[in-house]
A and B are shown apart, each in its own frame.
Chain A
Amino acid sequence: MVVTREEVKHLGWLAKLEMSDAELQRYTAQIEEIISYLNMLNTIPLEQVKPIAMKKKFSELRKDAPENFEDAVLGTRYRKDGFVKGPRMV
């Protein structure tokens, strides 16, 4: 077995995805199949190959000039005194 149900459950916790038992069952089987396919990457001799990287010069970076953004940015209606309301932290 390449991927276990427990692993998928843990990944779900890391990615903050609630899954029912049925979903977990189905995803584990499907992800097992997908990861088995991706495992072909481990059969390729790639030691000599360098990954491609995009590069930029220091001079091309954004200049440090502040600018105000005028329009409303946040869409949520759960607000208080300008703050955004979030869930409990405990």
Chain B
Amino acid sequence: MATTTKIGLEIHCQLTGAKSKLFCRCSSDYRGKAPNANICPICAGLPGTLPLLNQKTVEFAAMITLALGCKFPDDIAFYRKNYFYPDLPKNFQLTQYNAYSITSIGVDGKLEYGNGKDARIRRVQLEEDPGRLVYASGSMDTSVYVLIDYNRAGMPLVEIVTEPDFADPKDVRMFLDKITSIIEHLGVCDTKLEGSVRCDANVSIDGGNKVEIKNISSFADVEKALRYEITRQRTMASREIQVRSETRHWDDARKVTKESRTKEEEQDYRYFPEPDIPMVLLGSEFVSFIRQSMPELPDTRKERFMSKYGLSAHIAQVLIGNKELADFFESTLMIYLSPKEIANWIVTDLMSFVDERQKKEEDKQHLLFAGLKVGPEHIADLARLVDQETINRATAKQILGQIVRTGEMPSALAKKMHASRIDDASVLAQAVQSVFQMEQAAVHDARRNANVANFLLGKVMKITKGTADPKIALEMIQKKLKED
């Protein structure tokens, strides 16, 4: 049965790159602090306080706007979204709203995210994060009170809203990877911090009712949540049950979407412009300032990697797909300029040592290479040894396998191995001797055709399980060919 699936996304990124909160001077580095130790009269919503818009957050939101191909209005405004909730100190959220005139910082964009696919961006807006609720007994149902921590209240968030342009959860995953790489490249959000990126999704099939899925705490779970929800809706459709328009919550533990139990009376947010924040004039001067101050975006970086360093599109894509990889690559080049060699070492060899769990981004808290003891200096050293033919590729791989655990420099390790090889010269001579005995036909051919010597070398390497230095071994073979 053919079905059409429409998925739209609402992505929230905390602007952790800003040093202070959106409307007050409290630090944006609230994580790990004692409850309510990172608040002030403004973010705690004390009477008489006024919001003081953080310049940096406007700059960051504007960078995201540009990166997503959105248009800027001439000026931006903030609106109050009025609703009561115990994590909301003012019982309204300061956000942006598009009505009567365009006021959110970005609108009508488009982002390509791989294999020629793209998604339309409806809007980009700047808003504040609420506080955090903790249930004393671990669950909402059994607690006679809730514990509130306002440390997060007032953190700057950028909300990115897409049109329902996705049909396949896999595409959503690719899109989110691209968004991650963009905000990492812009330096506006450290996506590795817990809860710094969140995603809500809406799903409808065959033009039916739209279901919102909230509470998806990591990008990695979005794909799962969508697959679950699509299956749920298809099953309902096959039984001819109508899908209700509703908000469902992703249950992280059971990996299912659940009906929200709180049946609220119809909410009415009574939006109106925040009178304490004047409209902020943007204009062409501002836009060119942002263009100039904008760090390189992943797509531009990919092109540069291809044109400047001659990397293949595939290798370049893998590198820029994760800012950490691309940065690692470029730091290595600063030490030793051998782009193709180094890119290969990183993408194929080094990546094979990265924990599978981390590669799947189930553990996004840590850097990709966090468990490994290698840095750019190691890879640069390794590439240099190979380029200078001090060691062969097989030895180099062996060396890498060791140093990721020990952190030893490849050249130091290579020297040690070379010394042990000299000790093993007699072992090598023995190996050459036995190959000459086994491969008499080849030895015969080799005396007339020098290229066949390489065949003999291959055999020697096989016998020594690759431990022999091929250069020395070849010399030994050639010498023996002349002798006999």
* Residues of chain A having any CB pair with chain B under 8 Å: 10, 13-14, 16, 53-59, 61-69, 73-74, 78, 80-90
CB of B394 within 8 A of chain A? no
Inter-chain contact A62/B53, CB cutoff 8 Å? yes
Chain A CB count within 10 A is highest, among B28, B135, B140, B281, for B281
A82 to B150, CA, bound (A): 10
Q: How many residues of B contact A (CB 8 A)?
A: 53
Inter-chain contact B150/A84, CB cutoff 8 Å? yes
Beta-carbon contacts under 8 Å, B19-62 to A: 19-20, 25-29, 34-37, 39-41, 44, 46, 52-58
Q: Tell me whether A66 and B41 are in contact in the complex, defined as CB-CB below 8 angstroms, given that A61-B58, A86-B133 are known contacts.
A: no
Cβ distance A87 to chain B, nearest Cβ, rounded Å: 6
Q: Tell me whether A64 and B41 are in contact in the complex, defined as CB-CB below 8 angstroms, given that A56-B281, A85-B147, A86-B145 are known contacts.
A: no
**B contacts with A: majority SS:** loop
User: Pick the contact of B55 from A10, A53, A61, A81 — CB < 8 Å?
Assistant: A61
Cβ distance A31 to chain B, nearest Cβ, rounded Å: 16
Inter-chain contact A13/B265, CB cutoff 8 Å? yes
Chain B CB count within 10 A is highest, among A14, A58, A66, A86, for A58
Inter-chain contact B286/A58, CB cutoff 8 Å? yes
Inter-chain contact A66/B20, CB cutoff 8 Å? yes
Beta-carbon contacts under 8 Å, B163-213 to A: none
Instruction: Please report the number of residue pairs spanning A and B whose Cβ atoms sit closer than 8 angstroms.
Output: 124
Inter-chain contact B148/A86, CB cutoff 8 Å? yes
Q: Provide the residues of chain A in CB contact with B147, threshold 8 Å.
A: 80-81, 83-86
Q: Tell me whether A90 and B141 are in contact in the complex, defined as CB-CB below 8 angstroms, given that A69-B41, A83-B149 are known contacts.
A: yes
- 21 A-B contacts (beta carbon < 8 Å): A13-B265, A53-B77, A53-B278, A55-B280, A56-B281, A58-B55, A64-B18, A64-B19, A64-B20, A66-B19, A67-B25, A73-B41, A73-B44, A73-B46, A82-B34, A82-B37, A84-B149, A84-B150, A85-B145, A87-B146, A89-B133
Inter-chain contact B40/A56, CB cutoff 8 Å? no
- For the complex of A and B, the 6 pairs showing the least CB-CB separation, nearest first, are A69-B40, A64-B56, A83-B147, A82-B35, A54-B278, A61-B55
Q: Provide the residues of chain B in CB contact with A84, threshold 8 Å.
A: 36, 147-150
A13 to B265, CA, bound (A): 9
